[in-house]
Amino acid sequence: MFIYTSEFDKLWKSIFKDIKNLEEVEQLLLQNPKAGNVIKGTEGLRKLRWRLDSKGKRGGIRILYVDFE
């Protein structure tokens, strides 16, 4: 299950141009919930870097998430 912040709900369409891209991130995290690196000092908050096709070599976003086992 994914729970999104209200800020994410407002902004996701400008980040992920179609729902397919968001679904790709969700599938990755479902298959490998530990995909991102733990941010030091947060006790479990993870950061995942995600490349966006439309942004070129350096383009992309950082996704912060917590996996509650």
Summarised one tens digit per residue, pLDDT across range 1-30 is: 899 888 888 888 777 776 777 888 899 999
Its pTM stands at: 0.76
Number of domains in the chain: 1
pLDDT grade for 57, boundaries at 50, 70 and 90 = low
Structural domain includes residue 1: no
State which residues form the domain around 15: 6-65
Q: Is residue 38 part of a domain?
A: yes
Residue 25 lies in a domain: yes
Residue 44, CA distances (Å) to 3, 29, 34, 63 in order: 16, 14, 10, 14
Read off the pLDDT band of 51 (50, 70, 90). confident
| Phi, psi values for residue 26, rounded to 5° | -60, -45
